[in-house]
Structure 1
Amino acid sequence: MDQYLPLYHIFYTAAKCGNISRASRELYISQPAVSKAIRKLEESLNTTLFKRNSRGVSLTEDGALLFHHVQDAFSSLDTAEQLLERKHSLGISHLRIGVSAIMCKYVLLPYLQDFIRLYPHVKIAISCQSTYQTLELLQERKVDIGLIGSPNSQKALDFFPVQSIQDTFVASETYLNNLSLRESDPNLFHTATFMMLDEENLSRQFVNDYFKLHDIELKNVLEVSTVDLLIEFAKIGMGAACVIKEFVRPELDNHELMELPLDIRFPSRKVGFAVLKENRELYPVREFLELTLQ
């Protein structure tokens, strides 16, 4: 196809102009050269691209189909040239980050703040979704970096851990006091209301697997849509919330919430930034990773 690229450019210009004469002036080549190039392209594609008339030329059905795709291609090239020009003049580039909403709030923001301070002209896009969806977007090359829990498989990925996290259940002291007054059974697994994220959430699955491994069954489970709501519901005494301990450290320190005395301890997990191995050295992925790993 490479040998026909100049022909596509001539075809594209002629289609835009609707006239061979105007196309030749825009291309700075003779009219016969334009006509010859179009005939050669038509022969290579075994079709007719233009209909000739007294006012110039118009596209055939096949010509219109080809023009639609060629126009997209040349438009993409124009956009790329403009982006490169902006990048070289201002250092502007584009960084796409995939992250869950809770990780964005409690882990990503400090790194993002430092990066924006050092690279103010990099355009940043944030896609908020689950870890599973972030991994899919990485594989599909729709995000450049993903902030995720440690992946089970790292064949195509480089993973850079930045923090350890631990799951726990928290509740208000008032809730636990009221629970002890109305329930004679001291087993919290049977009496407490356990508020958790939905079954598709990675943290929920991790906790479920732990309970299954240790033959623990929760009698009362209330599913809540977000971690922020879990924390707020726990504060007002609705039940015990399954949260990341590091994310409720202020509430634990000021005794607004307390950890449930369940005599269990969930294993800690790693969270970090994941990138495709092939993209690790690309700007500005490389710069972001260097900053986060300092």
Structure 2
Amino acid sequence: MDTKALRYFHEVAKLQSFTLAAQQLGVAQPAVSMAIRKLESELNLSLFHRQDRKVTLTDEGRRLLPHAERILTALTDAEHEMDELRGLGTGEVRVGIPSMLGSYYFPPILMAFRHRHPSLNLSVIEAGTWQLRQMLEAGELDLAVIVSEFLPPELEARVFLTEEMRVTVAKDHPFAGRQSIDPQTFFDQELVMFQEGYFHRKIVDRLAREAGRTPNIVFQTNLIPLIKSIVKQGFGISTLLKLAVDGEPDLVSIPFSEPVWLELSIAWRRGSYLSRANTAFVNFLLDA
């Protein structure tokens, strides 16, 4: 089975378009179409439904896709390891970070790592926990920050930070003077929340299920400055990591009656090759 054809197949399946896949791969569209037809002929199977401009996987194509992803990921790992053995390149770290940590915890760490390893290229992607997991499992990232309780068995990880998730209110809110807030009281309020897919939202959803409540979410946004602004103006309350509220004179963070502690881990695909550049980043993060 031709690995180039598998790469073309994977790109078409991901983008659901021969045209977009060709653009992404940097080749002519007829080359992509020809490679896919050849692959289908070799397998004696139809891999795509072709309807006008819409391209979707057949049942057979869906069965092939995870195999193609594993093969292509293994090839990429092999290429990276052989490059390192030959001493080629400067090395690259591709790491995914949830937005709250990307804004408040990681900037000094990333700058310090870059200062220590100036020859390494550092690519940082900010996204929600679910998207980071998918990108990591698909080989689009080398490393990602994942909350330990959402860690699937396909990933290996090391805990680097334990941080408290707190109720966040305006300084003049009636809750501002409280020592703690129980979940029932929290869910009586109008809430400003991250959208689904972010670990902050998953934690709140879990707390709601445990309390037998449905969150009254009046604003949803992944922009932390906007969440803070809405809360400051008294249009709702939220939950943020303590580190994201420190130094904000107009906001108060209050622990839950049963404190919510999160273990944050740096994760990678289990069994995959961890390059020297990625190993250096993991060790630096754990030391930091």
TM-score by length of 2: 0.60
- Selected match of 2:162 from 164, 177, 183: 164
Asked if the contact 1:193–1:221 (Cα under 8 Å) also holds between the matched residues in 2, the reply is yes
Asked if the contact 1:170–1:258 (Cα under 8 Å) also holds between the matched residues in 2, the reply is yes
Number of residue pairs matched?
207
Q: 1:194-218, CA deviations, whole angstroms, 9 ceiling, x for partnerless residues?
A: 2111233322122122122123455
- Selected match of 2:268 from 275, 280, 283: 275
Alignment of 1:101-250 (within 5 A): 101-176=99-174, 189-190=187-188, 192-219=189-216, 221-250=218-247
Q: Which amino acid aligns with 2:116?
A: L
**Structure 2 stretches lacking a partner, 5+ long:** 2-29, 36-78, 176-184
**Counterparts of 2:139 and 2:214 in 1: how far apart (Å)?**
40
Question: How far is 1:109 from its partner?
Answer: 2.0
**Counterparts of 1:155 and 1:188 in 2: how far apart (Å)?**
33
**Structure 1 stretches lacking a partner, 5+ long:** 2-60, 67-79, 178-186
**Counterparts of 2:187 and 2:135 in 1: how far apart (Å)?**
38
**Counterparts of 2:131 and 2:217 in 1: how far apart (Å)?**
29
Cα RMSD for the two superposed structures = 3.7
Q: Which amino acid aligns with 1:239?
A: G
Q: 1:36-95, CA deviations, whole angstroms, 9 ceiling, x for partnerless residues?
A: xxxxxxxxxxxxxxxxxxxxxxxxx99xx79xxxxxxxxxxxxx89x969x948x61111
Identity of aligned residues (%): 17
Greater share of residues in helix: 1
Asked if the contact 1:147–1:272 (Cα under 8 Å) also holds between the matched residues in 2, the reply is yes
Q: 1:225-255, CA deviations, whole angstroms, 9 ceiling, x for partnerless residues?
A: 322211222223332122122321222xx4x
Question: How far is 1:288 from its partner?
Answer: 0.9
Relative to structure 2, which stretch is displaced further, 107-116 or 217-226? 217-226
Q: Which amino acid aligns with 2:162?
A: S
**SS of residue matched to 1:234:** helix
**SS of residue matched to 1:176:** coil
Q: Which amino acid aligns with 1:118?
A: R
**Counterparts of 2:90 and 2:217 in 1: how far apart (Å)?**
52
- Selected match of 1:258 from 233, 245, 252: 252
Asked if the contact 2:171–2:232 (Cα under 8 Å) also holds between the matched residues in 1, the reply is no
**Counterparts of 1:274 and 1:188 in 2: how far apart (Å)?**
32
Asked if the contact 2:192–2:238 (Cα under 8 Å) also holds between the matched residues in 1, the reply is yes
Query: Considering only CA atoms, is the larger Rg found in Structure 1 or Structure 2?
Result: 1
- Selected match of 2:95 from 94, 97, 100: 97
**SS of residue matched to 1:284:** helix
The residue number in structure 1 matching 2:41 is none
**Counterparts of 1:199 and 1:153 in 2: how far apart (Å)?**
17
Asked if the contact 1:279–1:285 (Cα under 8 Å) also holds between the matched residues in 2, the reply is no
**Counterparts of 1:282 and 1:200 in 2: how far apart (Å)?**
28
**Counterparts of 1:136 and 1:259 in 2: how far apart (Å)?**
32
**Counterparts of 2:110 and 2:265 in 1: how far apart (Å)?**
14
Q: Which amino acid aligns with 1:275?
A: W
**SS of residue matched to 2:247:** helix
**Counterparts of 2:266 and 2:186 in 1: how far apart (Å)?**
36
Greater relative contact order (Cα < 8 A, sep 6+): 2
TM-score by length of 1: 0.59
**Counterparts of 1:269 and 1:115 in 2: how far apart (Å)?**
24
**Counterparts of 2:134 and 2:216 in 1: how far apart (Å)?**
34
**SS of residue matched to 2:212:** coil
Q: Which amino acid aligns with 1:257?
A: L
